[in-house]
Amino acid sequence: MNGPKSDQRLAVFDCDGTLVDGQAEVCTAMEAAFADLGLVAPPRHDIRRIVGLSLPAAMVRLAPDAGADVRSALDTAYRAQFRAAREAGRLVEPLFDGIPELLDALLADGWLLGVATGKSARGLAHCLEVHGLSRHFVTLQTADNHPSKPDPAMLETALFEAATQRGRAVMIGDTVYDIHMARAASVTAIGVAWGYHAPEELVEAGAIGVARDCTELLGMLRDLP
């Protein structure tokens, strides 16, 4: 799909906090990672605030006084904890209400769909496969190959892979990192109210609006010029 630009619209979704609710798993794995290194974990409120960032960027915020070697070890420990939960079948990342219906409606309307997430490629693939959503997306961008949000690299690559014009794309997410990434890529941003950052934060960051549920989000997308 890397030939001439298509006139099709592209909706790029964040994953954690937008498509699925993985906050409990993130908090549990992060607390275990800190415990593995004999450190006191940050409050869960602080952990939830970093959802959406890549792990190196998240560790800078969660352990600002630690050295680079400690943050690297926390990164490794977190990945190991999350992987162990996934392999043991303990990982629970439920879809938010209405997500499958929303995606099906957008596909029926002729949209292309993508994901831009701080998850690893393996984590995203597992999440989408569990929920039977893998076939819905034409482009999947993860923290494995890009700088952390709000750097626009993930969106830039999604636009390229989908062969979509910048003005025909929209980023949908629950954190200011998603909105700032969209702004950096000159892409329209819409926030969702069911994730990890408050609606007023998303509007202040530059979202054109914040959807309260998937029905409202579908309407907002259909109303785009």
- Give residue 223's pLDDT: 98
Which residue stretches of the chain have pLDDT < 70? 1-4
C-alpha count within 13 angstroms, C-beta hemisphere, residue 192: 31
Distance CA 64, CA 224 (A): 41
Task: Locate CATH 1.10.150 in the chain.
Answer: 23-87
Question: What is the dotted CATH code of the domain comprising 10-21+93-222?
Answer: 3.40.50.1000
- CATH number for the region 23-87 comes to 1.10.150
pTM over 0.85: yes
The pLDDT of residue 5 is 75
Which is it for strands 210-211 and 10-13: parallel, antiparallel or unpaired? unpaired
pLDDT of residue 24: 86
Instruction: Provide the pLDDT for residue 3.
Output: 55
Report the pLDDT value the prediction gives residue 190, as an integer from 0 to 100.
98
Spell out the residues 6+ positions from residue 69 whose beta carbon is closer than 8 angstroms to its own.
none
pLDDT for 2 equals 53
Is residue 3 within 8 A of residue 38, CB to CB? The reply is: no
CA distance 189 to 186: 9
Instruction: Give CATH 3.40.50.1000 domain extents, the chain.
Output: 10-21+93-222
Residue 4 confidence (pLDDT): 66
